[in-house]
Amino acid sequence: MNVVKPIKSVDDLMKAGLVAPADRVALEEVAARYAVALTPAISKLIDRADPDDPIARQFVPDAAELTIAPEERADPIGDHAHSPVEGIVHRYPDRVLLKAVHVCPVYCRFCFRREMVGPQGLGTLDAAAMQAAFDYIHSDEEIWEVILTGGDPLVLSSRRLGEIMEALAGITHVKIIRFHTRVPVVDPEKIDAALIAALKASGKTVYIALHANHVRELTPEARAACARLVDAGIAMVSQSVLLKGVNDDPDVLAKLMKAFVEIRVKPYYLHHPDLAPGTSHFRVTIEEGQEIVAALRGRISGLCQPAYILDIPGGHGKAVISGSAMRATGDGCYTVTDYRGGEHSYPPAD
């Protein structure tokens, strides 16, 4: 039997027939800067005969990543400005991000935290840092929701996840625990009974926000993994990124959103791509994004409509792009209003 192995280097990509030898030098340069990984499930899914394969585009490195646009920045959504203790991002009063791990099973080429994740990234919180993060959450009774993100929190072992959930179980003001993950899609076998038991160990309401960008990612195995989670009482929502060459087409997006609803994953966020370094080849303009999202209205059920949102650079939170928070000021520039009423230029001036 032909065993498909995880891919973690340019050599592995060449052996798997995913990149051409002529691209080796440029791709080594990309891989030295931004982590590379594809799981067997994703490697198998790529159509090697299609030069525009939307799965390959998301995960196989490209020399275009070496081009840094002037508006791009290492911390595009301003995590660092809102991090009171290591591993915590506290942007809104009622919720915090808990970034326990900066490792992912795959490394998305458009990742908004690409300078933080991977072997050269911020690593995993040690026991003392983890305790300090729990102490911080404990000390602020306004914190209603803890969002585990990273990195991908479901790369942690069931034992480690169970320990985190038990620690959060003791914090009475925390009612909701949310995970942002790609694991049900990129490593569906990881969603087993032990992992589900660990997720339920806190006794609190658990949500999983599943990151997928193209309907082909929702394979029968991925759908079965989601069914195991939902059947266990874990609520699921989706998050996708609007990406040039992957899903910047109303028909492609409609298929993805309908498939989410069919597998009991409620469409939640459609992110405008962030200003992460070396990702300009993925970015549609705001105007193009608005047209694509407008074309979804009426075409598919209200159940299938995600919120199209922008993470305002600098850490000012999210704004709904299709609403009144975005005001065009000409030449592709906008004034964006944050949830506190503050106004910001987009793209940012500095």
Residue 276 interacting with ligand SF4 (CB under 6 A): no
| Residue 251: active-site member | no
Residue 234 interacting with ligand SF4 (CB under 6 A): no
| Residue 226: active-site member | no
| Residue 113: active-site member | yes
| Residue 91: active-site member | yes
**Least distance in Å: CB of 228 to ligand SF4?**
20
Shortest CA distance to 206 belongs to which of 198, 215, 218, 216? 198
Sign of CA dihedral 81, 84, 86, 88: negative
Which secondary-structure segment (H or E) carries 261? helix 250-262
User: Which residues define the annotated binding site?
Assistant: 104, 108, 111
> What are the helix (H) ranges across 187-249?
193-199, 220-231
| Residue 104: active-site member | yes
Q: 62, 79, 104, 255: which one is catalytic?
A: 104
Residue 152 interacting with ligand SF4 (CB under 6 A): yes
Residue 107 interacting with ligand SF4 (CB under 6 A): yes
| Residue 114: active-site member | no
Residue 104 interacting with ligand SF4 (CB under 6 A): yes
Q: Which of 100, 108, 155, 236 binds ligand SF4 (CB under 6 A)?
A: 108
Closer CB to ligand SF4, 154 or 300, in the complex: 154
Q: 8, 24, 44, 95: which one is catalytic?
A: 95
Closer CB to ligand SF4, 211 or 318, in the complex: 211
Q: 152, 311, 334, 346: which one is catalytic?
A: 311
> In the chain, where do the E strands start and end?
88-92, 95-101, 145-150, 176-181, 205-211, 235-241, 266-271, 307-311, 318-320, 326-330, 333-337, 343-346
Shortest CA distance to 264 belongs to which of 237, 293, 298? 237
Q: Taking CA 147 as the corner, what is the angle to CA 58 and CA 138, rounded to the nearest 5 degrees?
A: 155
| Long-range contacts at 332-337 (CB < 8 A, ≥ 24 apart) | 332/285, 332/286, 332/287, 334/286, 336/310, 336/312
Q: Total number of residues binding ligand SF4 (CB under 6 A)?
A: 11
User: For residues 69 and 76, is the Cβ–Cβ distance under 8 A?
Assistant: no
Closer CB to ligand SF4, 114 or 334, in the complex: 114
**Least distance in Å: CB of 17 to ligand SF4?**
23
Helix (H, G, I), strand (E, B) or coil at 56: helix
Interface residues for ligand SF4 in 114-133 (CB under 6 A)?
117
Q: Which of 57, 82, 99, 113 binds ligand SF4 (CB under 6 A)?
A: 113
Closer CB to ligand SF4, 102 or 316, in the complex: 102
Closer CB to ligand SF4, 187 or 248, in the complex: 187
Residue type, 5: K
Shortest CA distance to 309 belongs to which of 327, 326, 292, 329? 326
| Residue 223: active-site member | no
Q: How many CB atoms lie within 10 A of CB 192?
A: 12
**Least distance in Å: CB of 61 to ligand SF4?**
12
Catalytic residues: 91-92, 95, 104, 108, 111, 113, 274, 311, 318
Q: Which residues bind ligand SF4 (CB under 6 A)?
A: 104, 107-108, 111, 113, 117, 150-152, 182, 211
